A and B are shown apart, each in its own frame.
Chain A
Amino acid sequence: MSQSRMETLDPQTSTMTLSIDVDLYPRDVLYAAAYVFLDRAYVLLDRDGSRFLVHLRGKQPMDEATLRAMTGEFENELLAQALRHRVVEVNQKIIENITTLAIAGAAGGSGGAGDDDAPLIDMQDPGDDGFLEDPRGIAAPWEPKKKDAD
């Protein structure tokens, strides 16, 4: 049995039914993909045993080619949402850490950074940090030029 299959297609009523194996995508992915189509189609989800059924009816009349294209778009959207779901899952800890740091920073706390808040350059002896070195002579003071322009 295939994992995704077009069950019905009827250009007369601008309807089509797609069935998807329940093990292929999480339910959240199905919701997210269906949500994207709500503005241009009437969407009804159902379940028959081990398969989700997606009934779509175009809000505007659709010929067979358009209905087939919409089916393909729906399958693509499922894949895109599945990837999005996976990326969020994998990066959940990182997202939480960044959000915690941002909120802590906005609240005036150190966000657990500790000594990381110390200046990167030792202002007593900045040359030691290497940022004053300019072996290619790229650095040029701009203040005097600006003063002349005025």
Chain B
Amino acid sequence: MPSPSHFVTVKLHRTLYGEQAISEAAATFGDFATFTVHPEGDHYVVDVSDIDGEVQGDVVAEFCNFALANAALQRKTSDG
């Protein structure tokens, strides 16, 4: 589980997190950090930099929650 700092790398498994889910979450938090996403093996590697230190809360962990929520909702939509 990532913890707050100014540069963090998160690995999200490709079978559990879609690229669109990650991109949308990155866009949501674009005002608070810079996100770059690239596939690497079974994972999408998300490099999070320029994290706004003034923001209360954990930007990276909230980003992961958003990515998970997006993945779950998109999976539900694609089933329906």
Contacts and interface: CB of A to CB of B under 8 A. Distances in A.
Interface residues of A, number: 19
B75 A43 contact: no
A69 interface: no
Given A42-B62, A57-B61, A31 B1 contact: no
B16 A47 contact: yes
Tell me what chain A mostly uses at the interface: helix, strand, loop, or mixed. strand
A104 interface: no
A44 B64 contact: yes
5 contacts: A15-B1, A27-B75, A44-B12, A47-B13, A55-B1
Contacts of A35: 68-69, 72
Contacts of A43: 64-65, 68
Interface of A: 13, 15, 27-28, 31-32, 34-35, 38, 42-47, 52, 55-57
A44 B61 CA distance: 8
B76 to A, nearest CB: 8
Given A27-B75, A31-B71, A45 B13 contact: yes
A57 B1 contact: yes
B40 interface: no
A31 to B, nearest CB: 4
A32 B13 contact: no
Given A13-B3, A28-B76, A35-B69, 13 more contacts: A28-B75, A31-B71, A31-B72, A34-B72, A38-B68, A42-B62, A44-B1, A45-B68, A46-B12, A46-B16, A47-B13, A52-B16, A56-B1
